[in-house]
């Protein structure tokens, strides 16, 4: 592991990447954006490093030596750690990306990528997780209750662990009950970008929310259009 830079203004980001050149590019761009940076070059020991360093986010390469990034993410989530994770992958394979999102990653970029785009996506994730202007009152729709201030979700009064992106997607739909949003609208509103991002990303996150909420899920598919949130009985 390698410590980098002076005291961060925007928190510490842990970059887990085995390519030294990419690590250096990410370090420089993240530091320029005001983040502190530490790096790790393999999957082995990565979960322990995340627990010890408590970064605001993790940039995680999928193709790591030892333990790959997907397994690192799986172990992280299995331990109850929901630190935001942004995957970096050289695999031009939608299946790999979907598997990563299903395991609890918040977003991904594919190599070769623009460092500025990666920093912008990371900023979008953190704005959602650290939003200070979140309303204090809870949101309730059917059997689902959301506490925006503490970023907690309940289904039939039981707590449900959601990733940062899953939480924001659900909260957005619940704030606008019965309003139908296209996938492109959700990408622009929740993720903060659209156009070059596959709408399949939205479908994967919706599927994960439904799996976690079970029959209490208020999300309804509107065929040919997108999604809405309707009260469940």
Instruction: For domain 139-229, give its CATH number from 2.160.10.10, 3.30.450.20, 1.10.10.10, 1.20.120.420.
Output: 1.10.10.10
CA dist 161 → 58, 77, 143, 152, 184 (Å): 18, 10, 16, 8, 25
* In the chain, where the domains are located: 2-129, 139-229
Q: What's the pLDDT at 220? A: 95
Q: What confidence tens digit (pLDDT) does each residue in 183-221 have?
A: 888 887 787 664 455 678 899 999 999 999 999 999 999
Categorize the per-residue pLDDT at 5 as very low, low, confident or very high, splitting at 50, 70 and 90. very low
Q: What confidence tens digit (pLDDT) does each residue in 123-173 have?
A: 988 887 766 444 557 899 999 999 988 889 999 999 999 988 899 899 999
Q: What's the pLDDT at 3? A: 44
Q: Region 114-120: what's the mean pLDDT?
A: 91
Most confident of 16-25, 110-119, 180-189: 16-25
User: Where is average pLDDT lowest: 82-91, 140-149, 217-226?
Assistant: 82-91
Q: Region 104-120: what's the mean pLDDT?
A: 88
Q: What is the pTM of this model?
A: 0.68
Q: CA-CA distance, 120 to 33, in Å (whole number)?
A: 9
Task: Provide the token pair at 116.
Answer: 């500025």
Contacts 24+ apart (CB under 8 A), 120-125: 120/192, 120/193, 121/86, 121/191, 121/192, 121/193, 122/13, 122/30, 122/57, 122/59, 122/86, 123/33, 124/191, 124/192, 124/193, 125/57, 125/84, 125/86, 125/164, 125/165
Q: What's the pLDDT at 93? A: 65
Q: CA-CA distance, 151 to 190, in Å (whole number)?
A: 15
Cβ atoms of 113 and 88 within 8 Å: the answer is yes
Position 6 pLDDT exceeds 50: no
Cβ atoms of 142 and 178 within 8 Å: the answer is no
Of 188, 190, 173, nearest to 227 (Cα)?
Answer: 173
Find the largest Cα–Cα distance for the chain: 54
Name the CATH architecture for the domain at 2-129.
3-Layer(aba) Sandwich (3.40)
User: To the nearest whole percent, how much of the chain has pLDDT over 90?
Assistant: 47
């Amino acid at each position: 592991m390698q410590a980098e830079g002076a005291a961060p203004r925007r928190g510490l980001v842990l970059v887990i990447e085995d390519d030294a050149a990419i690590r250096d590019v990410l370090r420089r761009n993240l530091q320029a954006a005001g983040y502190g940076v530490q790096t790790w070059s393999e999957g082995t020991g990565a979960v322990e490093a995340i627990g010890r360093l408590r970064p605001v986010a993790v940039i995680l390469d999928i193709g790591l030596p030892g333990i790959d990034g997907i397994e690192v993410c799986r172990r992280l989530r299995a331990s109850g750690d929901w630190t935001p994770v942004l995957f970096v992958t050289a695999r031009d394979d939608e299946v790999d990306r979907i598997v990563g999102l299903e395991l609890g990653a918040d977003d991904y970029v594919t190599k070769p990528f623009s460092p500025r785009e990666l920093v912008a996506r990371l900023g979008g994730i953190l704005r959602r997780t650290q939003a200070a202007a979140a309303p204090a009152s809870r949101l309730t729709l059917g059997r689902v209750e959301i506490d925006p201030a503490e970023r907690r979700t309940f289904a039939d009064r039981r707590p449900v662990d959601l990733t940062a992106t899953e939480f924001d997607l659900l909260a957005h739909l619940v704030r606008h009950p019965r309003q139908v949003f296209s996938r492109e609208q959700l990408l622009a509103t929740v993720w903060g970008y659209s156009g070059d991002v596959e709408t399949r990303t939205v479908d994967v996150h919706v599927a994960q929310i439904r799996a976690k909420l079970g029959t209490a899920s208020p999300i309804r598919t509107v065929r040919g259009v997108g999604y809405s949130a309707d009260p469940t009985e």
